[in-house]
Amino acid sequence: MQFGNPKVFAIECHHEPIRNSTQRVFGRMCIRAGERVLGNIDEPACMLNVTEGFFVDLLPAIQNLENRELSEMPDVEAFKLLDNAVYLDDDRSSEQLASDAAKYSKFDFLTNGGESFDGTKSFIHRVGDVIRILFTDESDRFHSIHVEREEFEKVITQFLCWLEKEGQTVPAP
């Protein structure tokens, strides 16, 4: 199944009907935008509900993902700032680490957002009506995706609706 335009922004996903009593949806997924791919579509039996939870929390939070400092930076520089602030264990004091985490962790995107995204690191940032997704792939190559907020929200919502319907078809053990 694919939601959106893969040349612009799309979610590709496939349901693998693994029997379970909780109606969890297992499958494979990734995000596509032209030649840029976030996630591993070949990773089997991923619990897609982990990503669902992330997206459900993300949609109402998009309004708060704008930051002038990040908006003024090129994509790769914004990624480096966020990566260092959220993940780097350096010589900052405990207070500075906590401050940086409080300020910047809201921009973390699908890092640990499900097995499909293992081995990647990604951040999301809003610049007006444009969503920037900044990420490294499994080979640690940097990529960025710019998508209109309306399109981004539409694709995420379509995925969430599909996932809810698929959850109703999960075979019981």
* Banded pLDDT at 93 (limits 50, 70, 90): confident
pLDDT at 171: 83
Model confidence over 28-76: pLDDT tens digits? 999 999 999 999 999 999 999 999 999 999 999 999 999 999 999 999 9
pLDDT at 172: 81
What is the number of structural domains in the chain? 1
pLDDT over threshold 80, residue 89: no
Query: Is 56 domain-assigned?
Result: yes
Compute the residue count for the chain.
Answer: 173
**Quick check: 37 and 137 in contact, CB under 8 A?**
yes
Strands 26-33 and 46-47: antiparallel
Q: Which two tokens stand for residue 45?
A: 């039996």
Query: Is 17 domain-assigned?
Result: yes
Query: Is 50 domain-assigned?
Result: yes
Query: Is 173 domain-assigned?
Result: no
List phi, psi (to 5°) of 98. Answer: -65, -40
Model confidence over 95-117: pLDDT tens digits? 888 888 899 999 999 998 889 99
Query: Is 111 domain-assigned?
Result: yes
Query: Is 172 domain-assigned?
Result: no
* Banded pLDDT at 138 (limits 50, 70, 90): confident
Tell me the residue range of the domain where 45 lies. Answer: 2-167
Q: Which two tokens stand for residue 94?
A: 């405990």
Write the CB contacts of 6 (distance below 8 Å, at least 6 apart in sequence).
12, 32, 33, 34
Single out the residue of 121, 100, 99, 102 nearest to residue 110, CA to CA.
Answer: 121
Q: What is the full DSSP assignment across the chain? A: -EEEETTTEEEEEEE-----TT---EEEEEEEETTEEES-TT--SEEHHHHHHHHHHHHHHGGG-B-HHHHTS-HHHHHHHHHHHHH---S--HHHHHHHHHHHGGGB-STTSSGGGTT-EEEEEEETTEEEEEEE-TT--EEEEEEEHHHHHHHHHHHHHHHHHHHTTPPP-
